[in-house]
Amino acid sequence: MKALIMAAGYAVRLYPLTKDRPKPLLPVCNRPIVDYIVDKVGKIREIEEMLVVTNGKFANHFTDWSNSSTFKSKIRIISDGSLSNDDKLGAVGDIDFIIKNAKVEDDLLVVAGDNLFDFELDEFVAFAISMQPSPSIGLYDVGSMEAVKKYGMVDIDNHRKIIKFEEKPSQPVNTLIAVCVYYFPRQTLGLISEYLDEGNNPDAPGYYINWLYQKRDTYGFIFRGSWYDIGGIASYHQACKDYEKRK
């Protein structure tokens, strides 16, 4: 199994903080966000390699970071070649890029590099392995119908199979959302190219999940704990404040 950490975005909504530094390397309690993710991924015994996809602008930043990481022997930094927000490949485009260019033929755990959470990933991976060859995605209860409207809403049946997905719903039916933690079995990796070849949105991964669950049975695992979507300066400052309190 390989892990893919998504870190190729330009985070323009966080300017000026991310003008010269990528979002996953922003500090939270004196550690970059990506360190918290790598700590979680590093506990999963099945993971043989961590691939970090970044862009041409920030590739050197991640190389410097990885050289000082506890898990540096398992980390490989790969640039998608883009240099600005205007020529980026998009999140789904980057997953496809890595599968092809890194010749990924293993099951793939995908985690967004700006996900900040305190729950563990090993239970999710165990669940996802039990559901193979179907894909699995991470879910989180935001507890507010209003909050759901900013994300991808998910509904599941009693067997945890996804039966509905709606990006930024105007009338949500529950408070479950998809977080960018995905498990794609090796048998399903080719579906990403199929999705892109049809001319679908290469950026927001929620659109791919919406397409995917209608092609293949897809299952959802509900995470418990705290989760932060570092989408803007306010949410970043809130995460920093909360982590400082815990410390």
Query: What is the per-residue pLDDT across 189-209, written as a single tens digit (0 to 9) for each?
Result: 999 999 999 999 999 899 999
pLDDT at residue 100, as a whole number:
97
DSSP 8-state secondary structure symbol assigned to residue 161? B
Looking at residue 204, what is its pLDDT?
Answer: 85
Asked if the model's pLDDT at residue 154 lies above 90, the reply is yes
Contacts of 108 (CB under 8 A, 6+ apart): 1, 2, 3, 4, 99, 182, 183, 184, 186, 189
What is the structure's pLDDT at 70?
87
> Which residues make Cβ contacts (< 8 Å) with residue 198, sequence separation at least 6?
none
The upper half-sphere exposure of residue 219, i.e. CA atoms within 13 Å in the direction of its Cβ, equals 20
The 10s digit of each residue's pLDDT in 4-43 is 999 999 988 889 999 999 999 999 999 999 999 999 999 9
Q: Which domains does the chain have, with CATH numbers?
A: 2-137+180-201+220-246 (3.90.550.10)
Per-residue confidence (pLDDT) for residue 139, from 0 to 100: 97
Q: What percent of the chain has pLDDT over 70?
A: 100
Report whether the peptide linkage leading into residue 16 is cis, meaning its omega lies within 30 degrees of zero: yes
pTM: 0.95
Q: Is the pLDDT of residue 247 over 80?
A: no
Region of 15 on the Ramachandran plot (φ > 0 left; ψ -120 to 50 alpha; else beta): beta
> What number is the average pLDDT over the span 59-80?
95
